[in-house]
Each structure stands twice: as C-alpha cells, then as structure tokens.
Amino acid sequence: MVGVQQHLPIFDVELDRNNPRIRRFVEGFEGELTDDNIQLALDIGGDDGDSGKGVTSADKLRNSILANRGIMQPIIVCRNEAGRYLCIEGNTRLFIYRQFHENGVAGDWSTIPAIVHETLAGDGIDAIRLQAHLVGPRAWDAYSKAKYQWELHFKHLMPLDRLVDLCGGDRRDVQKSINAYADMENHFRKLHQPGEFYNTQRYSGFVELQNTKVKTAIFRAGFSLDDFASWLKEKKIDGLIAIRQLPLVLGDKNARAIFLKKDIKAALDAIERPDIGADLRAASLSQLARAITEKAEKIPFIEIQRLRQNPDDDVVRYVLDALDALQNLAGEFQQRRDDVG
C-alpha cells in the first residue's frame, strides 16, 4: 500500500461522504448532500475532546495550520471509480485549506500536500481509516506535552506567542501547562530518591494548583508549594476534586489539623455544614440551578454590601464553593460535547 506524495489542487479532491467522523451528522440529512453540508458536519464533528477549554480541536488545528503556513502531515487520497480523487484521511485539513482559500487568507492555499493512491484493493480504504483514527499515532500524555513546551520556551528560548501559535491553542492554557510543569519539577521531584518511581500522573494536580484560589489558600495558611508536593506524594490529597477543596479545609483551623494528621477526606467530614434537608436533597439539578439563579437575582443590595464587608461569612464561602463546582461541571459538559463531536 504505497502512495506517491503530490500537491493537489484543493477542488480536485472530493470530501469523503462516508467519513466515519461525520456520518452521524449527515445520515439524517434530507435532500442532496452537498460539499457545504459535509463541510458544516466536519466543522461540528472536528472537536474531539481536547482538554484545552475554550478552544475546540478544530480551532486548534486551524490556528496551527495558519501558524505553520500549511500542514506537516499530508492528507491521503485515492482515485474513485469516476477517476476523481477521494480524500480518505484528512477531510478536516482539506476543509480548512478550502476555507482559507475562499476567505482570502494570506498564503497559497490552492493546493494541498497529499499521499496519492491510484488504486486501493479490497479493504485498503478501511485499513487506512482504522490505522489513522482507531489505532493511530499515540497522543502524548499531558506531562510530556508540558515538558516539551517548557523546554522549547526556556531552553530553546522560543517566544511564548510563537509557541502558542504552533500549538494552536489558548495562551492561558499553554502558560498554565508550563507553570504546572515547573512547579512539579521544582517541588515534587526532589521528594524522590534516585531510582524511585516518579509518578507523572501527579502532573494533573499541579495543573489544578495553578488556580489562584488554591495557591492563595496554601500561602495564607502558612504553607509552601513544597508542602503541597508532600501532600500529593503522601496521598493526603488524592484527585482533582480534593485539591479544589483545599481552600475550604485550610481555612478551617480544626479541619486543617485533621487534614495534616490524616487526609483531606477526614478533614472534610469534620467541617460543619448547614443541614440541607430532605426536600433539597431530593430536588433535581435543574431545579436547584433554577432556584439558585432566582435567589441570586433577587438578593437585596444591602445584603450584597454586608457580604462585601464580611468575606469570611458562610454565605460567601458556600457561594464560592458552588461557583467552583458549577464551573467544573460546565467544563465537563463542554468536554463531553467535544468527545461526542
């Protein structure tokens, strides 16, 4: 299964109507299926759940192609029965080239690098699709990505703006990754003896540490990032949700003492919380969300002024806890929507 690399005119290559990525979007389409319909489905279906919030995978691909003035990996095409080229792998990249060409984006987007197969016998097309998407090249884990970004920025002195362009993502996400890697190497690695297993999965905890609220709570309680690293290694805090609860625990003297002696689960169990009541526990998430929206919109201004003057009030604490929980939940909704896409 050997193809020849060429540069093909973008409109000489047909978008694949049987592309598995978009099939669920076009199966229910009524009427003649046009390239416009396929392009719309590709734009919707191109988001495959990257962890970077606020920038979809399709956006990242566009940004990366634009920054690099082209694609590094050619699309794969073969001739169909009518003698035209069919895009087997790389429909989204072809779609982006067409977008850039039609929108007059600076650069030459009229042709695209392609591996061309004149014929593919038997299940050749399916084999290419499976290898590209189900087997595929293995994605780097989050720690390895951050390590590489840190090295490019600090060892090879690549400007952050250029690094963001090449990654195709959001500046805040890239900066957070680099900072999390630096914190982990500076505070977590030194806790390990030579030859001791270094659990890079703990990197996610240092990403969560970049939340200003978490770092501030650690410093305000008289601790350091070395302490945070020790808590992670000793599993006093285990899981991202536990890290998000650190401000609550460290802000309560009794809970803080229990946390240092045992772990965060024991500390959370010791914190006094208002009784929710059976009715509230039985309420659905949609009912609770609607109720809190209505309550927040009707709060008297004099109460807002009181809470401004009393930042340690339980109301402020529970509202901020709810805000964190809802933001994380909303992020999960977005990530799952990207996964479906």
Q: Domain ranges for the chain, please list them.
A: 2-139, 140-200, 210-274, 292-337
| Statement: residue 1 has pLDDT above 70 | no
Question: Do 99 and 108 contact (CB within 8 A), yes or no?
Answer: no
Strands 75-79 and 111-117 turn out to be parallel
- Quickly list DSSP for 311-337: TTSHHHHHHHHHHHHHHHHHHHHHHHH
**pLDDT tens, residue by residue, 82-106:** 778 989 888 889 989 999 999 999 9
The residue with tokens 């299964």 is 1
**Encoded amino acid at 165, one letter:** D
Predicted confidence at residue 49, as pLDDT, reads: 43
> Greater confidence, 58 or 204?
204
Alpha carbon distance 246, 236 (integer Å): 11
Question: Do 148 and 175 contact (CB within 8 A), yes or no?
Answer: no
Question: Do 215 and 206 contact (CB within 8 A), yes or no?
Answer: no
The segment with the largest mean pLDDT, out of 14-23, 105-114, 118-127, 269-278, is 105-114
The segment with the largest mean pLDDT, out of 15-19, 210-214, 335-339, is 210-214
Mean pLDDT, residues 17-35: 66
Strands 85-89 and 13-14 turn out to be parallel
Least confident of 212-221, 289-298, 315-324: 315-324
> Greater confidence, 18 or 143?
143
**pLDDT tens, residue by residue, 35-86:** 677 767 666 555 444 444 444 577 888 888 998 899 988 999 988 777 789 8
Mean pLDDT over all residues of the chain? 84
| Statement: residue 211 has pLDDT above 50 | yes
Predicted confidence at residue 15, as pLDDT, reads: 85
CATH architecture of the domain formed by 2-139: Alpha-Beta Complex (3.90)
Alpha carbon distance 314, 293 (integer Å): 19
Least confident of 33-47, 204-218, 233-247, 248-262: 33-47
| Statement: residue 249 has pLDDT above 70 | yes
Predicted confidence at residue 268, as pLDDT, reads: 87
Q: Is 14 helix (H, G, I), strand (E, B) or coil?
A: strand
pLDDT band for 32, please (50, 70, 90 cuts): low
Nearby residues of 318 by Cβ (< 8 Å), 6 or more positions away:
274
Mean pLDDT, residues 185-209: 95
Angle at 316 between CA 267 and CA 299, to 5 degrees: 145
Predicted confidence at residue 23, as pLDDT, reads: 65
Two tokens at 194?
A: 């030579």
Percent of the chain at pLDDT exceeding 70:
84
**pLDDT tens, residue by residue, 103-156:** 999 999 999 999 998 877 667 777 777 776 665 556 678 999 999 999 999 988
Q: Is 163 helix (H, G, I), strand (E, B) or coil?
A: helix
CA 217 to chain centroid, in Å, comes to: 25
The residue with tokens 């460290």 is 250
Strands 13-14 and 75-79 turn out to be unpaired
Predicted confidence at residue 278, as pLDDT, reads: 80
Q: For residue 114, what are the β-bridge partners?
A: 6, 75
Alpha carbon distance 179, 177 (integer Å): 6
